[in-house]
Amino acid sequence: MAKKIKVKLVLELRAAQLSQREICRSRKMSQHSVGDVCRRASELGITYDDVKDKSDEEVYRMFYPDKYVSEMLYNLPDYSYIHTELKKTGVNLKLLWHEYKDLCHTSNTLSMGYTKFCEGYSEHVTANSLTNHLRHKPGIICEVDWSGSTMAIVDRATGEMINVNLFVATLPYNQYSYVEPCLDMKQKYVAEMQYKYARVFWRLNG
């Protein structure tokens, strides 16, 4: 289940004169979450003295009423599990959403739609600082790898199904990609594919 932002704790530490950066570091909270609580506190005119006698859930509801209602209505996905599963070959959000829907159906609880499911995952990633922002200069780096999944082609002469490995190359700055099936994953194919991809890239960029 997605972790709720510890709104009351942020307000308490803020009242103790800790900076947002100090709160993030000491409590292992994301800058996005802490910054959002501080921003909303200013907008709502709420300080720690206003909420110190309230429960964590009451304070959370004051700051995020829409999220609170949504979380009470739906059976929330376990986004920590989802984030881990996405690292596996062939797993994507659509597949995990169907898995989540089946789980809700089994437990007779209400599941959220795919769009809301994806939005929730995106919020989880941001709130827990799970992304790495990489900076690339145009044309400097070319990332190459073999796809984790294999495909098959048909020999038109014999009708035989032949398994192939997919070579993938991408320029991370502009996301230009080149994909080609290969009969094996020997080193010579990598060199050949890199050369072909370089020619394609330079044609695209004049």
The residue assigned the tokens 């100090």 is 22
**C-alpha distances in Å from residue 142, one per residue of 4, 138, 157, 168, 191:** 39, 10, 36, 10, 13
For residue 72, what pLDDT is reported?
73
163 vs 172, higher pLDDT: 163
How much of the chain exceeds pLDDT 70, in percent?
81
For residue 202, what pLDDT is reported?
58
For residue 132, what pLDDT is reported?
47
For residue 63, what pLDDT is reported?
93
Q: How confident is the model at residue 139 (pLDDT cuts 50, 70, 90)?
A: low
For residue 130, what pLDDT is reported?
67
- And the tokens for 4? 């709720």
For residue 199, what pLDDT is reported?
62
In whole numbers, what is the pLDDT of the chain averaged over residues? 81
pLDDT digits (tens, 9 = 90+) for 144-160: 777 767 788 888 888 89
Provide the b/e sequence for 106-136 (b: ≥16 CB within 10 Å).
eeeeebbeeeebeebbebbbebbeeeeeeee
pTM above 0.85, yes or no: no
